[in-house]
Structures are given as structure tokens and as C-alpha cells.
Copies of this chain bind each other. A is one copy, B any other.
């Protein structure tokens, strides 16, 4: 909502924000299904055409910032360089989504509760999540173009990043937006990096030629071995 322009320059919330505020007030008071677009525009004091100028449908007013966030994510990924460690880059891109939620915890928690109750909104959210995942996967497919298994690895890593992000995001939303969402998400994304990403690529000139030796019991679970390597590669 912060991206909406203040059309009149009056300091009052712009029309788009007013529509979102009115919509959520009605959704919470009457329920989502019981609220019509006519109800929303009447409370916001604008015409139907104004609503549809900003939102293609009633579902879209529930997720007013995803289009901006998707565009931000695409720009962010397009703006990187070949020196970026690819998995780290998509983790950073996923953090843009978190930032959008964390900008307004009260609104995000209200929407989370609403989405859980309304099957149509859950379906809408799945399609949004899918678009984020595709944006991450497309970036990774480009970066992995020279790998024989590039598209497979890209799709799997994108899905893992989205799942980790959403696991942490949902924990934060379930706790009513208490605490630092970013801490939980950083932690979740570190797990994905430990499996796929490796340590940040050191600058070429400083790249040490030494080796890392990991000794593990044969029966140790692989994820534990990977954690150990990750810690060793990243720490000293």
C-alpha cells in the first residue's frame, strides 16, 4: 500500500489505500463472501469503476501488494551479476516478500486469518506463490544454463526456498506478527543454503587454495554432514 500514490497531494490516504481499508473493515465485520464490491465502494466513497481501475476482482483487493512485489523481485533478480552466488541471490529475492508482509504486521495477520477461512482466497494465494516460485526458478535456470541438470536443480531449489520462506512466514503470522520475522526467515533460508547453496563465493583474488576435510560416521544423516561442511566452509 505504501507504493500507492497520494493522488490529490492532500496527505489523506490515496484512493487505492481507502479501498483496501474499506474492504478489510467489511471482510472482518461481515465476512468475505458476504461483502460485495458495491459495499466496498460505498464505504470508501468512490465509484465501481475506481475499484476496477485498481483491482481486477474482489480477490485482488485482499493481496494488494503482490503485483508490486513480484515486479520488485523480477527487477532484483535481473539486476544481479554473474558473481552472485545463485542460491544466495534467490534467498535475498524471497526476503522481498517477507519485507512486504513485515511492513504492516496488523494487516498481514488479518489477511492470514481471512485467507485460512476462505477457500477461494487460498486458491488465489497458491497461484501467487506459484508465480514467485517461477520467478526464482527462471532466474536459476538462466544461471544454471551450463549445467546438465540445470532446469531440475533450478526448479527444486526454487521450491525449497519458497517452502522455507513460507514456513517461517506462517510461524510469524500464527504468532500474530510478534518478534522479528526476518530472524525466522534467515534461519529457514540458511537450511536451504546448507543443502544446496554453499558458502558465499569469495572474490577470485582471495580464493584460498586449501581444502576442507570432513570426517563423518557412515551412519550420520546426510543433512547433518552438510550442516557440518556448511559451518566449516562458512566460518573460518
A residues sitting closer than 8 Å to B (CB atoms) are 122-123, 126-127, 130, 149, 151-153, 155-156, 158-160, 162-164, 166-168, 188, 191-192, 194-199, 201-202, 207-223, 225-226, 229-230, 233
Contact = CB atoms under 8 A, between A and B. Distances in A.
Given A126-B127, A160-B159, A163-B158, A191 B152 contact: yes
Contact of A167 (B127, B156, B222): B156
**Oligomeric state, in copies:** 2
B191 A218 contact: no
26 contacts: A123-B123, A123-B127, A149-B191, A152-B168, A152-B191, A153-B191, A155-B163, A156-B160, A156-B163, A156-B188, A159-B160, A159-B163, A160-B163, A195-B195, A195-B196, A195-B222, A207-B218, A209-B217, A209-B218, A211-B215, A211-B216, A212-B216, A212-B218, A214-B229, A216-B229, A222-B229
A74 to B, nearest CB: 20
A229 to B, nearest CB: 6
Contact of A207 (B162, B201, B219, B221): B219
A202 B214 contact: no
A221 B200 CA distance: 10
